[in-house]
Amino acid sequence: MKRKKIIEWIAGNPAWVISLIAAFLVFFIQAILSSYIGQPLSYVIWSLMMASASFLICILHPKHVWIVPLICNILVILPAMVDDKFWSTSFGLILGLGVVFSVLMAHFGALLGRQRENRNTIKSD
């Protein structure tokens, strides 16, 4: 697909759908990567990919700034809620920081998305 078609497809679908797709896509990429590189490094890459996904989705869907990082990181948040020792492991610390970074990047993406919408509204008038 060309870049413009991908952007139109992402903008045309609900933010929660794109976030869920990103969550599972990054999960499978991390599963493949962890067999080739060390697990701590693969968790860092997972966190960076989730933050990037939240940023890019929120540029196109700035009104969904709170739901996007939550759904993108659902595969981290659910085990953290169930396991008491999650935050004391290197896995939990790296991915917990990734969730925080994802929320920050989502807000930054939403800020850019709102500016983009305002600029397009001004040009339309």
* Residue 74 CB partners (closer than 8 Å, separation 6+): 20, 23
Residue with tokens 């896995």: 91
Give how many domains the chain has, as a whole number: 1
pTM: 0.85
Q: Can you give the residue range of the structural domain that contains 84?
A: 3-124
Mapping DSSP to helix (H, G, I), strand (E, B) and coil, where does residue 117 land? helix
Contact 24, 46 (CB under 8 A): no
- What is the distance between the alpha carbons of residues 14 and 40, in angstroms, rounded to a whole number? 32
In the chain, the amino acid numbered 88 is S
Q: What is the pLDDT of residues 9-45, one digit of tens each?
A: 777 889 899 999 999 999 998 888 888 887 788 888 9
